[in-house]
């Protein structure tokens, strides 16, 4: 006889080693369902008491069912998430958003704005990957590009490095 005797609702293994069983039982006096963890030991008092309530095969079965329900729930969540994607991703809206962001980035660059400073850093890295910049011998302009503190400085240095700056501007 154990605390859960005659009151077991469900029992399942709690790990792959199958050395512990969680027993869900109804504690009538407390008027609540409670958990009781039983070690799988052939001579253990609680293990023997549990087997009098529910055979090992059924515990196995309930463990598998529980895993199945968990997987189904997981799949349901993934499906719901994937189906919701098109609603969130309206291409036209994204275009408008990107346009606004680019415009703000160039016209009103704020170095304290984390996303803008990250964008500037990524752009500088991309520009350095350009073959024309890589092959350029103009160390001063490369340094200017590296140290550029806003997008316009970076674009200016890039234009010089790839020879695209108009004569008038150069003067």
Partner 1 sequence: MAARDPLIYDATVNNPRRMTDAEIALSVSYCIYAYAGNPSVTLTVESSATGGSLTGGAITDTRKSAGATSTSNTAFVAEGSTEEPQTVTVSYNRITQTNASISPTADGGRLWPVYLTSGGNIQAMNLTDIKDTFLHPAIDLLVSAFSDKENQGGTYTVGTATTLSNCTLVSSNPIFTDTRADTDEYSSSGIPETADQPTTIGNFFLFKIDQGAEPNLTQDNGCPLFINSDGNLQTFPLADWQGYLTEWIRETASESANNHKIRYVYNQSATQRGSGIVNTILDGSGNYQTRQVSDDYRSQEFPNGSATTAATHKFEIQKH
Give the interface segment with partner 1, choosing from 14-22, 52-60, 128-136, 155-163 (CB under 8 A): 14-22
84-108: b or e for each residue (b if 16 or more CB lie within 10 Å)? eeeeeeeeeeeeeeeeeeeeebeee
Does the protein bind partner 1 through residue 88 (CB under 8 A)? no
Report how far apart, in Å, the C-alpha atoms of 37 and of each of 32, 135, 156 are.
Answer: 16, 69, 69
Output the six-digit token pair for 110. 């704020």
Q: Is 6 in the site for partner 1 (CB under 8 A)?
A: no
Q: Does 15 bind partner 1 (CB under 8 A)?
A: yes
Strand 32-39 versus strand 20-27 pairing type: antiparallel
User: CA-to-CA distance for 13 and 66, rounded, in angstroms?
Assistant: 10
Binding residues with partner 1: total (CB under 8 A): 29
Beta-sheet strand order (sheet of 8-13): 8-13, 20-27, 32-39
> Please, which of residues 121-140 interact with partner 1 by CB under 8 A?
121-122
Binding of residue 34 to partner 1 (CB under 8 A): yes
Using CB under 8 A as the binding rule, whether residue 112 contacts partner 1 is answered as no
Q: 45, 75, 76, 96: which one contacts partner 1 (CB under 8 A)?
A: 45
Binding site for partner 1 (CB under 8 A): 1-3, 14-17, 19-20, 22, 27-30, 32, 34-39, 44-46, 114, 117-118, 121-122
């Amino acid at each position: 006889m154990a605390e859960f005797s005659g009151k077991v609702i469900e029992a399942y293994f709690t790990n792959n080693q199958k050395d512990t069983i969680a027993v869900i039982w109804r504690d009538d006096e407390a008027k609540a369902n409670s958990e009781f963890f039983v070690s799988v030991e052939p001579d253990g008092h609680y293990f023997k008491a549990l087997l009098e309530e529910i055979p090992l095969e059924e515990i196995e079965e309930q463990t598998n069912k529980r895993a199945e329900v968990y997987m189904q729930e997981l799949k349901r969540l993934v499906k719901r998430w994937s189906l919701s994607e098109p609603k969130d991703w309206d291409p036209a809206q994204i275009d408008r958003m990107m346009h606004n962001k680019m415009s703000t980035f160039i016209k009103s660059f704020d170095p304290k704005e984390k996303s803008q400073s990250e964008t500037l850093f990524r752009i500088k890295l991309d520009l350095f990957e350009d073959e024309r910049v890589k092959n350029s011998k103009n160390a001063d302009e490369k340094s200017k590009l590296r140290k550029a503190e806003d997008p316009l400085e970076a674009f200016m240095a890039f234009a010089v490095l790839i020879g695209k700056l108009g004569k008038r501007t150069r003067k």
